[in-house]
Structure 1
């Protein structure tokens, strides 16, 4: 059960709201697309610019592949990423972060440990804000793409004017 939030001016750009908008758009897409196989071989011509950024090496580049990708991302958000490769990338990133912080700590041995802790905290805060901003931007783009796919599906099956 997802918690519902009321958008106040301070919460409008929260990560929770970005995730809820994305999940809502994908759920709407999933409820609208009753026959996903109809999306096979439907070209992306109208939405190529917007959806081109989602294409990965193993995708065909049709609407069906984007439908599957959006549902997969929804699953990753709801249930967590269960991929060994993702775990390895996370561990590797943590090792790099530790190496960078230990390098800066050892190179600045003249600093007191209190100053080192403050610097590390600032670095972690900056990293968090950078990744949070990126995640919110990606979720926003994915939400637009899910809404676009839903609209395009309706057009393909002849109900383009419904529910808009």
Structure 2
């Protein structure tokens, strides 16, 4: 039994070693590719990667969940914020064979918004969605090796990293 466990452990460690070697090989390849393209050899700015991730998640929320009537709490918060900014509750509809229409709650019930207000509402929706995703996404850890504890239990705030 001990031989079987040690054999499994040895195979697992060999697998890890192969993964580490592959990761190092890929890192060297990335450095060579950046140098070949005339870029700096070190990793690109993590803020650019974070921005791309925020845009990707916000686009997914914007294109699917917001317009399909999802019960997701994040989606509900975005809709409420949009309603506060626009000044009325808005809903999204797709009439058959047409593109997206934004309708607002008026005194006579739900009415389609004028085209210019729909455009402004879509821009506000994109900005709110992107800001919400940006606020909720985890921050990149600092590169200087220091670590700031997120938030202590018991309601005590963690010290600011700034």
Q: TM-score, normalised by structure 1?
A: 0.28
Asked which structure has the greater CA Rg, the reply is: 2
More helix by share: 1
Which protein has greater RCO, CA pairs closer than 8 Å, 6+ apart?
A: 1
